[in-house]
A and B are shown apart, each in its own frame.
Chain A
Amino acid sequence: MAKLVMQLDELSCPSCMQKIQAGVSQQDGVESVKVLFNASKVKAEYDEAVTNPDELTQAVTDLGYSVQSIKVK
């Protein structure tokens, strides 16, 4: 179980949070997602065998949000 922290550009609409939450959690291999609205960060726990940081980052950018940086733990 690996952990990924994505730093996004400033999030301002509450529905953005719902979208990102739904979008990332629907990816295969994602165990849990936490969107920190105020810090504009997304924390995800995922199974390394099924998915990887690039795929998860892609899921977020596909929704229209740019990812500034990522940190893998």
Chain B
Amino acid sequence: MKFQRWLQSVKNQIALTVGGLIAVAYGWYWLGGAVIVMQGLLLVASMMGVAPILMQAYQALKVKVVSIDLLVTIAVLGALIIGEFNESAIVTFLFLFGSYLEQRTLKKTRESIRALSEMAPQTAQVLAADGTTTTVDVDDVEIDDQVLVKAGAQVPVDGQVVQGSAYVNEASITGEAQLVKKIVGDAVYSGAIVDNGTLTVTATQVGDDTTFAQIIELVEEAQDSKSPAEKFIDRFATYYTPAVLVLALAIGLITRDFKLAITILVLGCPGALVIGAPVSIVAGIGNGAKHGVLIKGGEVVNAMAGIDTMVFDKTGTLTKGDTAVAHVQFYTAAEQATLAVTTAVEAQSDHPLATAIVQYARERGVTDLPTIERIETLKGLGVQAEVAGQTIRIGRAKMMTEAGIRLTGAQIAAITASQTAGQSTVLVAVDQQVVLLIGIADTVKPEAKAALTRLKKAGVKHLVMLTGDNDQTAAAIAKAVGITEYHANLLPAEKVEFIKTYQANGQKVAFIGDGINDSPSLALADIGIAMGSGTDVAIETSDIVLMQSTLSELVYADYLTKATARNTVQNIVIAVGTVGLLLLGLMVGWVQMASGMFVHEISILVVIFNAMRLIRFKVR
């Protein structure tokens, strides 16, 4: 066992030595030296070179795998048998050296994810109750522990700021290098670097559960998650390699041309084909991860490249989602009490409209919140709760009418006015009376229009907006971003129906949403894209996560996947083309074992270099 390990570890030195011996052998010969010395040197070189390859072939056979090493070993031994020492020496050198070059260049294509892993925090400063800090391993921090993060240090856990303020660099999570201000109450990610300031953070997620750790795991798994084409090539390769062996044997027996048979062994090595698609995918996914675009695998890359229809959710996707209350109209004298009840109920929800209301109340200094006895969410309509014996309904106008609550003419007019102004309207009713109308304005993301135009130019033929919000607001937002097809007042189930219709029409649909409320649509669409903002739900349910939650990232994802898919095809063409050329060369008589191995190794390197172009991919 030890010998095996040692042999593997000195493989590169062996390659170098073999190469050196070959050079000396030929040099000797050309300088007029004796042939027998050259042959001797080449023989020694061949024996040295074939040793590690033979070892690898043997280990593979032990676990019943027919590997490329076996093909090369047999070919080399065959060449030795017929006295072609130069062929055997050169083939072993090229194979070993090629293997070394592959390792070096593959390392480059995997660099993005490696750099990401290396950014993982190792230690944390845990704050004890008495104010002292102890340095612990990042995996030993417990939830609810408090950690101190000073300037220049990395945040070691996912958590909430309880003291202090600072500017942090979240590039390792979002791919964006802009500093973000964090104050008490803000959430921070593990892996973020504090630029200046000091933070005391309470841990909410530690170790492998942090967003950062999840991203690393996601990208690692994604790089090896194979598309159907890759899976096919893999299966093909497992049968192909033994088949080459059989073919060479058959040809050898039929033509009695031993040399031809062993040459076929070398030419038949699968090499570039097996590595072609995966290496492009790795480079592409790695590039994406560096820019905050998390792509979950090879098949996602291919599917995304073929998307012709993009369906957008409105709130939080096309709009900022940092909704703010723009208009408030009371229909009762008990304003403070009404606001308190409303806030109490809305505080239970994560919906952007709810957060806007809670924020508004916070600014108004509303405190004493009544206790909620019962609360129920009516999908697509609103929320219903029991507070102090009263039934509170908060939601759309539809919810009120369905509960039998009549709206006065003035109220209807107010609603229409609010909606025409582009606001989402929320009505609050206590028992059977509407007491409050809230108009919430949501701003369109600044980059939205430009991004959607670029997507159209890139080949996305249909852009659609689906929203549960009212028609007027939808119209206003659609006009602002340049979408012509939109549907409003939809329940989540109705959104799903639209996606089904498009798919039945032969369209390839991508759904872009915020991950929390749109799970069914994200799951059904050919590609589910979530505006990450780092939520676990987004990461889990979608195929692509846009960590910066911007539409320009969506454009990046589109361009990147198309470039990666193109790259994959290029590589497969190169691989197959090389095999074709080699066979042609063999028939014409140009190609021998050594030249065949040379071309084979070159094709592998060409394929890897081609994939490396994706590392530097940028959208202009």
Contact = CB atoms under 8 A, between A and B. Distances in A.
A12 B102 contact: yes
A10 B113 CA distance: 13
B206 to A, nearest CB: 14
B221 interface: yes
Contacts, number: 71
B113 A19 contact: no
Contacts of B13: none
Contact of B102 (A13, A19, A36, A65): A13
Contacts of A26: 63
B113 A15 contact: no
A39 B1 CA distance: 25
B80 to A, nearest CB: 23
Contacts of B237: 14
Contacts of B113: 38-39
Contact of A62 (B1, B7, B224): B1
Contacts of B220: 36, 38-39, 41
Contact of B5 (A39, A41, A61): A61
A64 B5 contact: yes
Contacts of A19: 59-60, 63, 65, 67
Nearest to B224: A36
Interface string B1-39: 100110111000000000000000000000000000000
A36 B110 CA distance: 12
Interface in A9-56: 10, 12-15, 18-19, 22-23, 26, 34-39, 41
B275 A18 contact: no
A39 B112 CA distance: 11
Interface size class of A (residues with CB under 8 A): 20 to 34
A19 B333 CA distance: 78
Given A15-B65, A22-B63, A64 B224 contact: no
A8 to B, nearest CB: 12
Contacts of B1: 61-62
B60 A18 contact: yes
Contacts of B106: 10, 12
Contacts of A72: none
B4 A12 contact: no
A41 to B, nearest CB: 7
B221 to A, nearest CB: 7
B55 interface: yes
A36 to B, nearest CB: 5
Given A36-B224, A63-B59, A18 B67 contact: yes
B329 interface: no
Contact of B110 (A14, A18, A38): A38
Given A10-B103, A23-B63, A64 B56 contact: yes
B282 interface: yes
Contacts of B221: 36
B220 to A, nearest CB: 4
B514 interface: no
B548 interface: no
Contacts of B8: 64-65
Given A38-B110, A38-B223, A64-B8, A14 B274 contact: yes
B65 A18 contact: yes
B256 interface: no
Interface string B61-94: 0111101110000000000000000000000000
Nearest to B106: A12
B406 interface: no
Nearest to B104: A12
B204 interface: no
B55 to A, nearest CB: 7
Interface in B90-121: 99, 102-103, 106-107, 110, 113
B238 interface: yes
B275 A14 contact: yes
B278 interface: yes
Interface in B226-242: 237-238
16 contacts: A10-B103, A15-B67, A19-B63, A23-B63, A26-B63, A35-B224, A38-B223, A39-B113, A61-B1, A61-B5, A62-B4, A63-B59, A64-B4, A64-B56, A65-B8, A66-B9
Interface of B: 1, 4-5, 7-9, 55-56, 59-60, 62-65, 67-69, 99, 102-103, 106-107, 110, 113, 220-221, 223-224, 237-238, 274-275, 278, 282
Q: Which 9 A-B pairs have the closest CB atoms?
A: A15-B67, A22-B63, A12-B103, A39-B220, A38-B223, A23-B63, A14-B274, A64-B8, A36-B224
Given A22-B65, A65-B8, 16 more contacts: A10-B106, A10-B107, A12-B103, A13-B68, A13-B102, A14-B275, A15-B69, A19-B63, A36-B223, A37-B224, A39-B220, A41-B220, A62-B1, A62-B4, A63-B59, A64-B5
